[in-house]
Amino acid sequence: MTAEDTHRAIDAVWRMESARLIAGIARIVRDVGLAEDLAQDALVAALEQWPGSGIPRNPGAWLMATAKHRAIDLVRRNVRLEQRRDALGRAFAERQDLTAADIEAIENHVGEHDVGDDLLRLIFTACHPVLRPEARVALTLRLLGGLTTAEIARAFLVPEPTVAQRMVRAKRTLAEAGVPYEVPDRGELGARLASVLEVIYLVFNEGYAATSGDDWMRPALCEDALRLGRILAELMPGEPEVHGLVALMEIQASRIRARTGPSGEPILLLDQNRARWDHLLIGRGLAALARAEALGGAHGPYALQAALAACHARARTPEDTDWERIVALYDALAAVAPSPVVALNRAVAVGMAFGPAAGLEAVDALAGERSLRSYHLLPGVRGDLLAKLGRFEDARAEFERAASMTGNAREREVLLARARAGGAA
């Protein structure tokens, strides 16, 4: 194997193992930032040694053993042994020296339950509500997704120094706030879990419908979010909303191949070739939705959104779509998670179920919503309904307004094309 091949293999191992590695080290040092530094030290050691010695039989275990050695050495250096010898002995009675037997145990995946606990702690720490949403997203992708700072910056089209600063501030905030490295107890779990699910959902949505840039989608972000959601579902199998979110992402991701044309141009839902939908992902999504419902979570916000996506997934043709059920599901969603965007999506469904005039009435009822004033989909939806009613000049003006508001170049092209066509689809 050439040095270049070895480096590619190391990169792949890091992407797969970094979350477990950082989580395991954080359990020892109780500091996420320090744990990441120690994990990076182990990666540097691999880059130095593996090209000459070859890749170990279990590279993840090698990295873990190396990082744990360094973590324990660091703890020993920082503890004043004269005053805390007894406490240190109790705390690290089982960790003072990693022997060959210890490494073999790691290679045989002894303590897999501990690994799951460590990952849960890392997820809840990275997504702690004390952090701003953009910082949670960056830290989660870094620690759990294994992405580099440059990759996160490219994914969200922000300067690399901005992402780096967010992560530095996030780690400092966690340390200064004394955020414990733990899974919250049952009383706090709901609020904290909501933050975790929000982060994963934000990552997926940015991949599924990019808010800015030249690409309609960023599928790699969808893949990262799906992987994080699946990990969380394995770690928390009794939480219905976790399965609801996974169901939503699986079903939405099933359409990715059909959402763009040969030149990358967007293809909207009703115009997609449904033969290109990934039916394996649809099956996985429907199964996850069934799990959420079986756990009593049918009316959770993510489960309801998954049920909406399932209505489209089950329809063989656009004409087969049960739009009246979709309206009813949006009513249920508005009851548990009301928002102007939910109301706008409901208006679209009303237009499909009961005619464009009814849809336009529902849209116009949202005209006073301050949060929608800069939301390009409001005039975009209104333009579509006006075009269906034959009011083509009014539709053209709405599409032009929508095009001026979107930050995504591909979406702007579609809206301007509709404006030039007089509103016709």
CB atoms within 10 A of CB 323: 17
Q: What is the pLDDT of residue 400?
A: 95
User: What amino acid is encoded at 240 in this protein?
Assistant: P
Entry pTM = 0.75
Identify whether the C-beta of residue 364 lies closer than 8 Å to the C-beta of residue 349: no
Confidence of residue 102 (pLDDT cuts 50, 70, 90): very low
Rank 75-84, 92-101, 139-148, 339-348 by mean pLDDT and report only the highest. 339-348
pLDDT at 419 over 70: yes
Phi, psi of 408 (to 5 degrees): -100, 125
pLDDT at 111 over 70: no
Q: Could you identify the residue written with the tokens 């395991």?
A: 24
Confidence of residue 32 (pLDDT cuts 50, 70, 90): confident
Q: What share of the chain is helix, strand, coil (3-state, %, to 5)?
A: 75, 0, 25
Identify whether the C-beta of residue 308 lies closer than 8 Å to the C-beta of residue 329: yes
Q: What is the pLDDT of residue 116?
A: 61
Q: What is the pLDDT of residue 2?
A: 76
Identify whether the C-beta of residue 46 lies closer than 8 Å to the C-beta of residue 10: yes
Q: Could you identify the residue written with the tokens 């990934």?
A: 278
pLDDT at 85 over 80: no
Phi, psi of 213 (to 5 degrees): 100, -170
Q: What is the pLDDT of residue 154?
A: 74
CB atoms within 10 A of CB 92: 15
Cα separation values, 152 from 34, 37, 137, 155, Å: 20, 18, 9, 5
CA distance 42 to 48: 10
Q: Where are the domains of the chain?
A: 3-112, 211-321, 338-425
What's the token pair of residue 360? 């336009």
What's the token pair of residue 218? 């960023």
Burial of 106 (C-beta count, 10 Å sphere; 0-12/13-18/19+): buried
Q: Where are the alpha helices (DSSP H) in 295-322?
A: 301-314
Residue 117 DSSP SS3 = helix
Please work out, in degrees rounded to the nearest 5, the angle formed at the alpha carbon of residue 80 by the alpha carbons of 76 and 84: 95
Closest CA to 139 of 173, 182, 187, 97: 173
Closest CA to 148 of 132, 135, 130, 167: 167
CA 332, 246, 181, 176 dihedral sign is negative
Full DSSP string of 172-228: HHHHHTT--SSPPPHHHHHHHHHHHHHHHHHHHHHHHS-SEES-S--HHHHHHHHHH
pLDDT at 190 over 80: no
pLDDT at 88 over 70: no
Identify whether the C-beta of residue 174 lies closer than 8 Å to the C-beta of residue 47: no
- Name every residue whose Cβ is closer than 8 Å to that of residue 423 and which is 6 or more positions away in sequence: 383, 384, 386, 387, 391, 392, 395, 396, 399
Identify whether the C-beta of residue 138 lies closer than 8 Å to the C-beta of residue 206: no
CATH pick for 338-425 out of 1.20.120, 2.60.120, 3.40.50, 1.25.40: 1.25.40
Higher local confidence (pLDDT), 36 or 292: 292
Q: What is the pLDDT of residue 259?
A: 93
Closest CA to 236 of 300, 108, 228: 228
